[in-house]
Amino acid sequence: MTTRRTFLKVLSGGLGLAAVGLPSRQSLADVAKASETEFFVFIIAAGGWDVTLWADPRNEAKGIVHPASTTNTDTSQLRRWVDAPLVDGEKSFQLVRPAGSNLVFGPGIGDLADMPDRLTVINGLAMNTVAHPDGQLFSTTGRHPQGGRVAASSIDTMLSNELGRDQLLPTVSVRFPSAYVGADLDRRVVPLAIDDVGSIARTVTRAQQYDANPERDLVTAMLSEEARDLAKRSTYPDVLDGLALQYEGVRHMLDSHLQDVFTTGGLQKAHPELNYTRRFTRGAAVNAAFAVESIKRNLVRCVSFAVGGFDTHGNNYRTQAQLQQETFELVALLVKSLDRTPHPLVQGHKLSEHTHILVVSDFCRTPQVNLALGRDHYPNNSALVVSPRFRSNFVFGKTDLEQLLPAPVKKFADGERAIAPPDLLATFVSAFGVDPRKYMRDGEVVKELLRL
């Protein structure tokens, strides 16, 4: 077993050696070895969230910023909203300042404000796009699409390829923009893209009235053999070899009786601590329960899912803060659930010590309110990391006060500039000993974000 001290020693020994902030290959390999018991949860707030309501709060009318107010926001359900004067009788909100922390949030943060020592906030992410598919791919792959096609693998695929090849379900992706693109990828880690986790159970259910599992296993074994033989005859064997592995994966899947637990009802029963009665995040709560249960059983490496409804151009902006509150409450409940759950492999450890959560969105919303009382797309963004390997109670990156645009934050190898999604993703994968250059064209490791 690798201790935290060993990990940090290995990581600190390697970081900063290369010109663009990449650790040496040897130290990365050592960290990767130390990361074989780690799990990942990736969440995308699909549609583009308003960062002025949580990570980069604005409660004053300054420049083009028109903050959330009692005129454009339904405050009745917001637990952290406390009125603050704005103009002409309008009220904005008081900033949320968690006790004992320098972090400052807007009311959308909800109950997650109670655990600032677990949070790393990244502000002022330069998105360079205001198109949904582009923003989602840039946030999750570090590349803008090329001619409408995905240009690189998403972060869940990268980490599964490095650390999850032998898992039964390397990446389960529920409405998340997971992508499998590039060379040197194992076919086993193609993301299992599904609409809802219940479809796993329904897909692996097998009737017993006609034949039994051993008979189906015989067919599957024969098909695996066929695929391997065809691969031997093929100029390009990797797809067929991959299919052979996937046939074998099906056998393991069926042997694991996944259908007993991975139904919506089964997951709700197994994890009553997650709130399934919320207005916006009922479905996402089931996905979070799936994440806890499948990690507890050591079946997955990455679980990725989306929380939808953030695209609020019109009057539906009134509930954006409530949607954020429910989303971050779900993250808080997920963390608490992981706090209580023992690690399946590391004795005496809790899952939260080895589970790393990244929450991103397409981009943020305009600082000014439009004529329909909503906010449109804006090329700035924020992200949230909950990870023992990241420096917590910490915010990195900034925006300018008047226009909410990303501001230069440090000197990167290519000069002083704002942080961008490729930097965040490169930092994230490097924390687990993965060489970002293996998967990413751009991005620099931001050492300031890592716990060293």
Partner 1 sequence: MVPPSAPLPLVANGVAAEDTARKENLRMVPPEVYMRTYLQLFGGLLPVDAQKRAKAGDGGSVFDSWDDYVSALGFPDYRFDIPRQTQTNALMVAAFERLGIALCDRALEHDLKGKAPLPVQDRLIFAFDLPKGTVDAKAFGPRFDVLHRTFLGYPAALAPPQRTARFFQLYRDLVSEHAKTSPKSRFTPDEAGWAGVCYGLVRHPEFHLY
Using CB under 8 A, list all residues that contact partner 1: 46, 132-133, 136, 168-169, 175, 177, 180, 187-188, 190-196, 198-200, 202-212, 214-216, 218-220, 222-223, 225-227, 229-230, 233-236, 238-240, 242-243, 246-247, 249-250, 253-254, 306, 308
Alpha helices by DSSP H, listed for 22-62, are 25-33
Which among 146, 230, 224, 223 has a CA at the least distance from the CA of 181?
A: 146
Pick between residue 3 and residue 208 the one whose CB is nearest to partner 1.
208
Pick between residue 229 and residue 402 the one whose CB is nearest to partner 1.
229
Q: CB of 177: closest distance to partner 1 in angstroms?
A: 8
Q: CB of 195: closest distance to partner 1 in angstroms?
A: 4
What angle separates helix 4-14 from helix 25-33, to the nearest 10 degrees? 160
Q: CB of 310: closest distance to partner 1 in angstroms?
A: 13
Q: CB of 377: closest distance to partner 1 in angstroms?
A: 14
Q: CB of 108: closest distance to partner 1 in angstroms?
A: 23
Pick between residue 135 and residue 397 the one whose CB is nearest to partner 1.
135
Pick between residue 309 and residue 397 the one whose CB is nearest to partner 1.
309
- Cβ atoms of residues 92 and 337 within 8 Å: no
For residue 345, the SS3 value is coil
DSSP class of residue 367 equals S
- Cβ atoms of residues 392 and 384 within 8 Å: no
Helix, strand, coil shares, percent, the chain, to 5: 40, 15, 45
Q: CB of 279: closest distance to partner 1 in angstroms?
A: 19
Pick between residue 139 and residue 392 the one whose CB is nearest to partner 1.
139
Pick between residue 216 and residue 417 the one whose CB is nearest to partner 1.
216
Structure tokens at 402: 């008047």
What does the DSSP assignment read for 134-174?
A: HHHHHHHHSS--BTTB--S--HHHHHHHHH-TTSSEEEEEE
- C-alpha 378/C-alpha 130 separation (Å) is 6
